[in-house]
Amino acid sequence: MKPFSFVFPGQGSQSVGMLDAWGDHPVVLEALKEASDALGEDVAKLIKDGPKEALALTTNTQPVMLVAAVAAYRVWMAETGVAPSAVAGHSLGEYSAMVAAGMLTLSQATPLVRFRAQAMQDAVPVGVGAMAAILGMDAARVIAGCADVTMGFGEGSAEVVEAVNFNDPAQTVIAGSKAAVEKACEVLKANGAKRALPLPVSAPFHSSLMKPAAEKLRERLESVEFSSPQIVLINNVDVAVEVDADRIRDALYRQAFGPVRWVECVQAIKARGLTAIVECGPGKVLAGMVKRIDPELHGMALLDPASLADVKNTLLGA
């Protein structure tokens, strides 16, 4: 058996019908019921029927991505019984990782991420903030370019743009006020970035504009009981392994307005001797990033019965 880790995706990989391939798998149905009971609404119907616009609302996206990722993980555990040696999550995916690690139950995590999503949406009205992916430019140059653009608006200005997701060596996501993000896209392209792609999101996630949301989240986290992790979890704000409940709460608070250090998370997984990294949940975004971060790593996706069979065969020889 190859030692391996699981990673969990964040917003952006959701799609209507994303759990259809699992059919009536009892473990998936159980996860959907648990999440639905915790929210008091039919999560299964929302995922199956959409519409796409409803699924794309942050307040819906975060809970449905959580339950879809946890469902896939539970199928893996039900069919193999072999836990990963470490877990991590990209942005929101950290909450899925926490459920996998036994730190939170799905019943705890579902309303918590719904609260987080609502706080984030309330912090910055739709249309005021923006995000964009900068491709083909070193992260340090993106950081410097964003700082120059922010300074260019003058002291005391509400316009701000920051590097917020370090996804792979040639892809950094920026976020902030709409005018500042648009200006940064122009400047970074002029400075040599291959592309600057606006992202279809409803808020400038992980930027300093999310601080009001983070303050609400910090208050909410005070009432959440965390269990001791059963699997090593590498968080994405500090690239650290925390076991103390107060330190976990603080990291989740800061994660809401701090950058996702994904390149470093993947490097930290490799440093533990884990060269097989499985993206657990809808989509294949993280699996692709793994290979771009380090060609020596083997990135795989587990999102349906066919990919489950592939991962089992690759990792377990079964």
> Can you read off the two tokens belonging to residue 23?
């059919």
The catalytic position among 25, 206, 207, 307 is 206
Find out whether 10 and 66 touch, Cβ atoms under 8 Å: no
Catalytic residue among 5, 13, 91, 202, which?
91
- Judged by DSSP in three states, 239 sits in coil
- Residue 168 structure tokens: 């792979």
Residues 6+ away with beta carbon under 8 Å from 205: 11, 91, 120, 131, 164, 175
Tokens 């070193």 sit on residue: 138
- Pairing of the two strands 298-302 and 276-280: parallel
In angstroms, the CA 68 to CA 318 distance is 24
Residue 151: exposed, middle, or buried by beta-carbon count in 10 A (0-12, 13-18, 19+)?
Answer: exposed
Q: Is 206 a catalytic residue?
A: yes
**All residues at 6 or more sequence positions from 210 whose CB lies less than 8 Å from its CB, including other chains:** 120, 123, 124, 203, 204, 256, 257
Q: DSSP 3-state assignment of 260?
A: strand
Half-sphere exposure of 311 (CA within 13 A, CB side): 30
Catalytic residue list: 91, 206
